[in-house]
Amino acid sequence: GYRRYFTQIVGFFVVEDHILHVTQGLVTRAYTDELWNMALSKIIAVLRAHSSYCTDPDLVLELKNLIVIFADTLQGYGFPVNRLFDLLFEIRDQYNETLLKKWAGVFRDIFEEDNYSPIPVVNEEEYKIVISKFPFQDPDLEKQSFPKKFPMSQSVPHIYIQVKEFIYASLKFSESLHRSSTEIDDMLRKSTNLLLTRTLSSCLLNLIRKPHIGLTELVQIIINTTHLEQACKYLEDFITNITNISQETVHTTRLYGLSTFKDARHAAEGEIYTKLNQKIDEFVQLADYDWTMSEPDGRASGYLMDLINFLRSIFQVFTHLPGKVAQTACMSACQHLSTSLMQMLLDSELKQISMGAVQQFNLDVIQCEYEVLLCCPDWSQTPGLKSSSCLGIPKCWN
């Protein structure tokens, strides 16, 4: 429909131009210019209205190509077409919006299909396939024998590839617009920033807040965002290679991926603290103290040992996290458990407590104190922390 629309208009004005040049007095340049300006206003109004309904980026791109051919053709006959190229800039923004919506679905599918486990490789060929998709460098991992694992999960190289595909798709619209390389570079960086700060950021936050995403998955998401953040410099190089515009250029726009992934990481950390406390609450609800018991059992309560075993396994997973995050998670968990135990002991519904119950409760607290260092095996060596008071947590129990 668009193609037929444009060819009919071109045909009309080519005929008018031909009449202008081969006849005398039949038409004038002022007449054709007036006719063109009137037609151009209507053409722009029609295109602006109809293109706004298009949600398919491929169709928008085809429309752009037709408008460029239409404008270049009539410009060759002396008709001014600057307003058409101004319209193309409006359509470009719409094109980017359709791309952003399309890639939001792409990112959601990638996150949905990820298993949130480190990528395993069993030989050199598989290793090279991964690093061909994602710029990863780790001399220690290179030295390890096969089989071995990359720290990130499958979604990381897939996300990286799709960001590059988005840049290519965005570049397609900028071609043939008669703009300088600097302007095209700026367009690409701005659209990529929108992809990172709006689309990918939103998908990451929605993923983090999903109820089925557990603590292990959240840990992997934090690791993933760290590697994606480090890859942003390679994306900037990628744009530079496409446009041949140096990043040192005065007005070059920087990518804002760093803030995007940091925000996602902070959100994941917050979810870890929340979910960890919720899990502790589930175990504490299983506590069934006999507050009138005459003698303690001589060992820690079953619910508490189950909780400690759970914390041990979780804190082992946390060793893959940055030190500060892991320490904060450990401290948060221990303080939350300490508060829960204290609330249990000071419950207004509790009317009397026997000495045997106090001793049993004391056994549980002692077990918690003892297990703190076992739950945090490496952090006791952290400079400034004494092994006998990891993070000062035993003070909570006192």
With a pLDDT cut of 70, the percent of the chain lying above it is 91
Q: In which band, very low, low, confident or very high, does the pLDDT at 53 lie, cut at 50, 70 and 90?
A: confident
DSSP string, 280-309: HHHHHTT----TT-SS--SS--HHHHHHHH
Computed over its alpha carbons, how large is the radius of gyration of the chain? 32
What pLDDT score does 256 carry?
73
Q: Which CATH class is domain 114-269?
A: mainly alpha
Give CA–CA dist 344/338, Å, rounded: 10
Residue 383 pLDDT:
39
Band (pLDDT 50/70/90 cuts) for residue 259 is confident
Name the amino acid, one letter, at 368.
C
What SS3 state is found at 66? helix
The average pLDDT across 230-253 equals 79
47-60: average pLDDT:
88
Per-residue pLDDT, 176: 77
The reported pLDDT for the residue numbered 373 is: 55
Confidence of residue 250 (pLDDT cuts 50, 70, 90): very low
Q: Which of 10, 89, 9 is CA-nearest to residue 51?
A: 89
Count Cα atoms within 13 angstroms, Cβ side, for 104: 15
3-class SS at 175?
A: coil
Dihedral of CA atoms 82, 241, 234, 146 in degrees, nearest 10, equals 140
Establish whether domains 114-269 and 286-381 are of one fold. Answer: no
Q: Where are the domains of the chain?
A: 1-93, 114-269, 286-381
Q: Kindly state the DSSP code that residue 195 receives in the 8-state scheme.
A: I
**Amino acid 360: pLDDT:** 93
Share above pLDDT 90 across residues of the chain, in percent, rounded to a whole number: 63
Query: In angstroms, what CA-CA distances link 38 with 35, 44, 45, 338?
Result: 5, 10, 11, 78
Cα(329)–Cα(372) distance, rounded to whole angstroms? 12
pLDDT tens per residue across span 9-27: 999 999 999 999 898 888 8
Dist. CA 163–CA 239, nearest whole Å: 11
pLDDT at 393: 36
> Does the structure show a pLDDT above 80 at 322?
no
Mean pLDDT value across the chain: 87
* pLDDT score at 74: 94
For residue 386, the model assigns a pLDDT of 35
Mean pLDDT of 273-301: 93
pLDDT at residue 375, as a whole number: 54
Angle between helices 201-208 and 257-284 (to 10 degrees): 10
Would you call 107 exposed, middle or buried from its count of C-beta atoms within 10 A (0-12, 13-18, 19+)? Answer: buried
pLDDT of residue 248: 65
**In this structure, which CATH number among 3.30.930.10, 3.40.640.10, 1.20.58.670, 3.30.450.80 belongs to the domain 286-381?**
1.20.58.670
Model confidence pLDDT, tens digit, residues 326-377 = 888 888 888 999 999 999 988 988 889 999 999 999 999 999 888 775 555 4
CA 222 to chain centre: 11
Q: How many CA atoms lie within 13 A of 16 on its CB side?
A: 20
Query: How many CA atoms lie less than 13 Å away from 398 in the CB half-sphere?
Result: 5
C-alpha 264/C-alpha 268 separation (Å) is 6
Q: Is the pTM of this model over 0.75?
A: yes
> Is residue 200 packed enough to be buried (19+ CB in 10 Å), middle (13-18) or exposed (0-12)?
buried
Whole-number pLDDT of residue 177: 80
Q: Both tokens of residue 41?
A: 């206003």
Mean pLDDT of 149-156: 95
Give me the DSSP letters along 220-242.
Answer: HHHHHHHHHHHTHHHHHHHHHHH
| 311 touches 333 (CB < 8 A) | yes
Note the maximum CA span of the chain: 121
Residue 271 has pLDDT above 70, yes or no: yes
